[in-house]
Amino acid sequence: MQFARHRRLRQTANLRAIVRETHLHIEDLIYPIFVVEGEKIKNEVPSMPGVYQQSLDYALEDVREAVQLGVRSIIVFGVPNEKNEVASQAYCEHGIVQLAIRAIKNAFPELVVIADTCLCHYTSHGHCGIVENGTIVNDDTLELLAKTAVSQAKAGADIIAPSNMMDGFVAAIRQALDEEGFTYVPIMSYAVKYASAFYGPFRDAAHSAPQFGDRKTYQMDPANRLEAFREAQADVDQGADFLMVKPALSYLDIIRDLKNHFHLPIVAYNVSGEYAMVKAAAQNGWIDEKAVVLEMLTSMKRAGTDLILTYFAKDVARWLKEDK
């Protein structure tokens, strides 16, 4: 009787290991931190167990632990005390993100520090741009995004990561960076960012929920696939150095599409809702957290991502070290 014996290559752990096609590495991980103004502040985000809003003193300790675990890159999100309609703290020389970047680069000069470049954390209305008569004004917003990116680069950011989904944002930021002498600072574009229901816990962490309406006029419809090609191609043409897909878990097909069609590093954002669901199920004893997280992140690598922005970064780094 003739038939394929696929089970031959599954008989032992070592045999499975040597034929494994996809591998997750600590170097793949980007660790997000939320920095607030003040001192001795460490507030756990209720919807994200294990994630904290931290003042800079505690954030430096957090980053030190990540570095000791082998994590090589972080992304900084700021939560300012002051917000207004023009997001002035986003591009302030002494804004919370700028202060955090300087302190982190001073303490860990080899660490890759990524700056989230958006306005929603800094606007009083919670939208990612300038609002006039209830409408997000695209081109005026680009000017503020460019100012924000330049201020972050001046503070020492290694990578600028604009997440706003305004049309032309990569071109505006690239031009501004180049004009200020930051030719070699790359842009990690949130190129394909869907108007997703998975963002809820993040808005608790960053205090960035919109005060009216939603973000569906600038973030993508979750039903659309071809639109992702148009968005990504536009960012490539404008000078993006990385392409990000956000969220990750429900958009693995989009990650694979971008990997197949573009020759830039692909980044997946394992977003807050994905994190919170796993945490909730694990706390109830319904799942094996480590096994589920490693399977999820491996699926993102298998789909084609090169880097994964994940709140599980420290846990995963610890697990990978233990498994070695």
pLDDT in tens, 176-221: 999 999 999 999 999 999 999 888 776 565 455 555 545 667 788 9
Is 194 a known ligand-binding residue?
no
pTM of the model: 0.93
- 279 among known catalytic residues: no
Architecture of domain 23-323: Alpha-Beta Barrel (3.20)
pLDDT greater at residue 136 or residue 25: 25
Catalytic choice (193, 259, 279, 301): 193
Alpha carbons 224 and 192: distance in angstroms, whole number: 11
What does the pLDDT read at residue 211? 55
Is 118 a known ligand-binding residue?
yes
Tokens 């319904």 locate to 286
- Cα atoms in the Cβ-side hemisphere of radius 13 Å centred on 84: 8
Highest mean pLDDT among 11-15, 208-212, 320-324: 11-15
What does the pLDDT read at residue 93? 87
Catalytic choice (83, 246, 259, 314): 246
What does the pLDDT read at residue 210? 58
Strand residue runs (E) in 134-183: 135-137, 159-162
Rg (CA), the chain: 20
Query: Domain spans of the chain?
Result: 23-323
Is 120 a known ligand-binding residue?
yes
Is 299 a known ligand-binding residue?
no
Q: How far is CA 18 from CA 13, 25, 150, 290, 323, in A?
A: 9, 16, 46, 22, 15
- 193 among known catalytic residues: yes
Average confidence (pLDDT) over 97-111: 97
Is 124 a known ligand-binding residue?
no
